[in-house]
Amino acid sequence: MNLRTAVIKLAHEHPELRGDLLPLLKSASDSLLDPVLGMHTLMPLIDRLDDVDEQSRDLAVQVYQTLVRKYALPQGDAEALRRLQACAKNAKTWDPALLRNNIFKAAHALGLKLPSGMF
């Protein structure tokens, strides 16, 4: 289950948390937290506390939300990271022109001066 699906599922199962969870759909995808502690990792804790300790469950969600916001990348940084990850992942199969194009777009997204002066 991916992060988006997990957040939607949790919001569906806990309508009282929807106001807090739904904003995570946008920010979680650009968060550095997801690979370390994604919502999918947190789901067993939320499920375990659901009927036993709602106060701890809600606080765990609040802690997660705060961390997601704290470690969310600005849009340009997130785009640059995605492009550079794609280049690294596909370095052996992508044409060098495609690699160059994505590297230049990543640099542009970060506001870096491009070596050619043109984009």
Q: From residue 109, how far is each of 26, 81, 106 by CA, in Å?
A: 19, 10, 5
Q: How far apart are CA 24 and CA 32, in angstroms?
A: 13
pLDDT at 30: 63
* Ranges of each domain in the chain: 3-70, 75-109
Q: How confident is the model at residue 16 (pLDDT cuts 50, 70, 90)?
A: confident
Contacts of 108 (CB under 8 A, 6+ apart): 114, 119
26-70 pLDDT per residue, tens: 555 567 777 777 777 788 888 888 889 889 988 988 898 888 888
Tell whether the model's pLDDT for residue 115 goes beyond 70.
yes
pLDDT at 109: 93
pLDDT at 84: 93
Average pLDDT, integer, range 2-30 = 69
89-113 pLDDT per residue, tens: 999 999 999 999 999 999 999 999 8
